[in-house]
Structure 1
Amino acid sequence: MKISTLHTAVLGLAALAKASYINYTTVTGYFMQDEVSTDPSTFVYYEENFGLINRTYEGETYNRNSKDLTQWQRFYNEVVRLNQESPCNVEYKVFFFGRHGDGYHNDAQAYYGTPAWNCYWAEIDGNDTTTWHDAALSQLGVEQAQTAHNFWQQLIVDQRIHTPDAYFTSPLTRCLQTANVTFEGLELPRNSASFKPMVKELFREGISIHTCDNRRSKNYIHNLFPEWIIESGFTINDELWNGITAETTDAQNMRSKKVLDEVFEELGNRNHEQNLFVSVTSHSGEIGSILSVLGHRTFSLNTGAVIPVLIRAETQEKDVVTKCHAWTVSAHCTTPPATSLANCVCASSAAAVTTPLVTMTSEPSTTSGPVCYDA
């Protein structure tokens, strides 16, 4: 799969080529979150065993030992069976998508209100008391990640759950911290994969003009967690965020498809038997986009929440078209706005602008948006 950027003038032009294409679907019937009867607003993952449904699986009646296994052990065996019985171009994996814990940007949005946040406060680095540029976790966010840590440890001890074979995370600070608190120091089962995540650019939040979506440098990430893997091709500075243009839903969904393809390719380069459970620490908007790509029902996550999804990936040979989606320009106020519950109104003396309100640490990327992917 190839990523490239094109000038707006060439939007709409498409290069057609025969190539491998992965078609993703969600396999339902295994998790409560798949069911329309499960309300995302009241569902608590750590009270519901990650949502794993208590049921029997095909073939268990022939295995006398199944009655001695926990539900999570039986489910892992079911995923193994699905892979063993599938055609060579089809594979099944379970992804645990975890949203980062509460960050200072979440608290600021709640404090100022969404209209004022979107049209002014989110475009600056912070206020007199806190910073939300590439926001860090608040104390609540740390506690939410610790809850996830404790729940994983409980399942390891009580249900002998198969822990992730691979770990991936967004490059934004709140996700790096969440992944670290969640998984570092777990007493992992024998022969489990160690926690050494790969930082992937495209698992980031939907790219907006908000400074909380502007990641810090590659050097910063490396210094924060020197032992972690930063994917090949990761740029020193953030070349996707420019404070001027924002991804559309279609553009983000194409990015989400691209990063799923990258992960499946990465896992395919490892031992297939050891890569059935995968952890991804990301963001509400990005996880929502990924669920859309997977054909999963809409399921919003509170900060710190986790949703597992059984994914069927079928590799096909098809005509692949390079598609582009232009990003949008968002006007915003230059001073704190006058607001109502429904919208944002700039002060009469401060007309809306479409230029960044922050001092850029580097020159804005001249290639940010539109981004084009093979699809």
Structure 2
Amino acid sequence: MQLSGVLLPAFLTAVTFAQVVLSDDSVTLPKFKSSTEYFDQSDPNVKPSDVNYGDNFGLKSNYSWADVLKQLDEHHKLFLLVRHAQGVHQCNTPSTDWTCYWQTIDGYDGQVWADALLTPEGISECQQLSQQINKTKDFPFPDHHYSSPLRRTLQTWEHVWKDLVKDVPTLKEFARETYGIQTESKRHSKSYIKENWDYVNFEAGFTEDDELWSNSTRETGKHRKYRAASVLSDIFEVHKNDKVIGLVSHSGLIGSILDVVGHRDYPVDNAKLLPVIIQKKKHKTKTYKLDDPDKTFEDICPDKPSQITEGPELTCSAAPFDERA
């Protein structure tokens, strides 16, 4: 479809949403470490291509889930990290136009990728993961569930876990994806979430409106690592007696969790569950510098086009969603 010379919007240089301002230039949090013993994907001596993910989610054949649970206590927990399934924001054909224009608006021609919903393929991916969990003998179901507050993670939690457990997820603001500029990272209001997922819990202090997302700045990877460590610190503090924690999140945040716990770099595809044993180190801390938390639009798109002449090339669309608000 041809467009008549759409100019880049002025809002890319104007701040209309409040960015959270941190009062300190650094934050000190507990130090974490991951175990390399029980899972192939955590073992640097096992090639990622050799990990048998389909068999016990990569648990080594000489261990059982009971063996894993025996190692867990106040300072050691098994995190079941789930990346959301395929979302509408992943339906694009990569291009400069997509990065520098289309990702900065809510949608086009009836397709909406702001706070992206799952695609039909994404729903199917969730169902396959749910079946894999259900068929895994002695699978250690979470003592508590957490989720990012973005719609694709809420949908993923529902299609993966809701029919398997009686528990409900608690939404953590810091469990979300890298935020800013790209509208897929902009969440809906707390009221909207309550209306459409009325069973979820909210962490203390969860705000009505999204106070993190900005249309002029985007979070840096350095700041995202701080968020990842903060999420782990909160969970260890609140759930001292729990052994298994479920978390539905995003590739960026999960990657940062792996980084801050010293886990090797490991790819996590859509709707995949990655079990990781994480230790909270006694009397050891790490300081995260927060003096430069954001990138500008010019940082992520130094060669922005002066105008857009064609619509985005989309390869899929959202699954039907009965929006209540």
Q: TM-score, normalized by length of structure 2?
A: 0.81
Residue in structure 1 matched with residue 10 of structure 2 by the alignment = none
Residue in structure 1 matched with residue 100 of structure 2 by the alignment = 119
Residue in structure 1 matched with residue 149 of structure 2 by the alignment = 171
Amino acid at match of 1:73: A
More deviation, 221-230/138-147: 221-230
Partner residue of 2:36 out of 21, 25, 28: 28
Whether contact under 8 Å (1:120, 1:332) holds in the other structure is: no
User: What does residue range 127-166 of structure 1 map to in structure 2 within 5 Å?
Assistant: 127-155=108-136, 159-166=137-144
The secondary structure found in structure 2 opposite 1:202 is helix
Residue in structure 2 matched with residue 94 of structure 1 by the alignment = 78
The secondary structure found in structure 2 opposite 1:209 is coil
Whether contact under 8 Å (2:30, 2:286) holds in the other structure is: no
Whether contact under 8 Å (2:220, 2:293) holds in the other structure is: yes
Separation (CA, whole Å) in 1 of partners of 2:290 and 2:221: 14
The secondary structure found in structure 2 opposite 1:324 is coil
Residues 239 and 44 of structure 1, relative CA distance in 2, 3 Å threshold: farther
Separation (CA, whole Å) in 1 of partners of 2:305 and 2:181: 17
Deviations 1:291-344 (A, max 9, x none): 1011111112111112110111123276978743331111399xxx9xxxxx95
Residues 265 and 330 of structure 1, relative CA distance in 2, 3 Å threshold: same
Separation (CA, whole Å) in 2 of partners of 1:30 and 1:280: 19
Gaps of 5+ in 1: 57-70, 84-89, 189-193, 338-342, 351-375
Amino acid at match of 1:97: L
Residue in structure 1 matched with residue 9 of structure 2 by the alignment = none
4+ aligned runs moved over 6 Å, structure 1: 317-322
Deviations 1:243-290 (A, max 9, x none): 11111111111111111111112213xxx1xx1111100000110011
Residues 208 and 93 of structure 1, relative CA distance in 2, 3 Å threshold: same
Tell me, yes or no, if structure 1 residue 286 matches structure 2 residue 253.
yes
User: What does residue range 1-375 of structure 1 map to in structure 2 within 5 Å?
Assistant: 5-6=21-22, 21-40=29-48, 45=53, 47-56=54-63, 71-77=64-70, 79-80=71-72, 83=73, 91-108=75-92, 111=93, 113-155=94-136, 159-186=137-164, 194-268=166-240, 272=241, 275-316=242-283, 323-331=290-298, 345-347=304-306
Residue 49 of structure 1: how far off its partner (Å): 1.6
Whether contact under 8 Å (2:97, 2:308) holds in the other structure is: no
Separation (CA, whole Å) in 1 of partners of 2:284 and 2:37: 29
Whether contact under 8 Å (1:251, 1:324) holds in the other structure is: no
The secondary structure found in structure 1 opposite 2:231 is helix
Separation (CA, whole Å) in 1 of partners of 2:50 and 2:86: 18
Whether contact under 8 Å (1:73, 1:161) holds in the other structure is: no
Residues 134 and 38 of structure 1, relative CA distance in 2, 3 Å threshold: farther
Separation (CA, whole Å) in 2 of partners of 1:318 and 1:332: 31
Separation (CA, whole Å) in 1 of partners of 2:248 and 2:175: 8
Separation (CA, whole Å) in 2 of partners of 1:41 and 1:209: 34
Whether contact under 8 Å (2:171, 2:203) holds in the other structure is: yes
Amino acid at match of 1:102: Q
Residues 214 and 43 of structure 1, relative CA distance in 2, 3 Å threshold: farther
Whether contact under 8 Å (2:31, 2:285) holds in the other structure is: no
Aligned length: 290
Residues 348 and 202 of structure 1, relative CA distance in 2, 3 Å threshold: closer
Separation (CA, whole Å) in 1 of partners of 2:36 and 2:265: 13
Identity of aligned residues (%): 30
Separation (CA, whole Å) in 1 of partners of 2:49 and 2:87: 19
Residue 232 of structure 1: how far off its partner (Å): 1.0
Residues 40 and 319 of structure 1, relative CA distance in 2, 3 Å threshold: closer
Residue 195 of structure 1: how far off its partner (Å): 2.1
Residue 37 of structure 1: how far off its partner (Å): 4.9
Q: If you compute each CA radius of gyration, which structure gives the higher value, 1 or 2?
A: 1
Separation (CA, whole Å) in 1 of partners of 2:151 and 2:290: 30
Root-mean-square deviation (Å): 2.8
Whether contact under 8 Å (1:116, 1:344) holds in the other structure is: no
Residue 348 of structure 1: how far off its partner (Å): 6.4
Separation (CA, whole Å) in 2 of partners of 1:40 and 1:253: 23
Whether contact under 8 Å (1:248, 1:328) holds in the other structure is: yes
